[in-house]
Amino acid sequence: MCIVTSLDALSALYPNPPVVASIAKEIDHVDANYGALIAASPFMLLATSGPDGLDCSPRGDKPGFVRIRDAKTLLIPDRRGNNRLDSLKNILSDPRVGMLFLIPGYGETLRVNGTATLSDDPGLCASFDMAGKLPACVIVVHVERVYFQCSRAVVRADLWNPAAHVARGDVPSAGEILRGITAKNQTVETFDGEAYDKALPERVKATLY
């Protein structure tokens, strides 16, 4: 296998300079147009880095769940999850974050890079009340770079085409994955995957917030 190990070698593979639009679209704040995309997005990915490595965590809620406090600040409620806290632990040691926003039916995605802190301010957390439940903390992102990504990846993936969606039974379920892993680990009891899958839909519904 040939490995690319230098900028010169990389440049040789991509001899053409970036197109003008790919540079012009990057700004250091959230303007009205980029704000409209964030407000329309019900789903984003949060990338972080820490002493144990990298992490990329899905975040989702009603469109606009990421609040725009001002042109340089985004607020993300940390809704109920699995309590691994991978992203939050990473932010405490390395504040750099990357965010990728998706909007169903929309080809372009939005990328936001910056630094983050965690706030447990009671008033701030209370402002994100949902169904009587508050986030344990809010991720406060200081925006440094914002730019949209063209639609090629979404178009190639045919992401929003219902006819291209994978049938549930065509891929392993959560219970099957857990059963397969625990069956190989003699130090833990083999997971009851069937029971897990059966209870999962109601458990998710009951623990959204």
Single-letter code of the amino acid located at 95: P
Q: How many CB atoms lie within 10 A of CB 54?
A: 10
Maximum CA pair distance of the chain?
57
Nearest to 112 by CA among 54, 50, 23, 26: 26
* Residue environment code for 128-164, b if the CB has 16+ CB neighbours within 10 A, otherwise e: beeeeebbebbbbbebeebebbeeeebeeeebeeeee
Task: Using pLDDT thresholds of 50, 70 and 90, give the confidence band for residue 29.
Answer: very high
The whole-number average pLDDT for the span 168-186 is 92
pLDDT digits (tens, 9 = 90+) for 91-138: 999 999 999 999 999 999 999 999 999 999 999 999 999 989 999 999
CB of 119 within 8 A of CB of 135? no
User: What's the token pair of residue 153?
Assistant: 């990846």
The whole-number average pLDDT for the span 153-172 is 95
**Domains of the chain (ranges plus CATH)?**
20-157 (2.30.110.10), 166-206 (no CATH)
Q: Is the pLDDT of residue 209 over 80?
A: yes
Task: Using pLDDT thresholds of 50, 70 and 90, give the confidence band for residue 35.
Answer: very high
Radius of gyration, alpha carbons of the chain: 20
Token pair 């964030």 is found at: 38
The secondary structure of 136-195 as a DSSP string is S-EEEEEEEEEEEE-THHHHHHTTT-GGGPPPGGGS--HHHHHHHHHHT-TTSPPP-HHH
Single-letter code of the amino acid located at 120: D
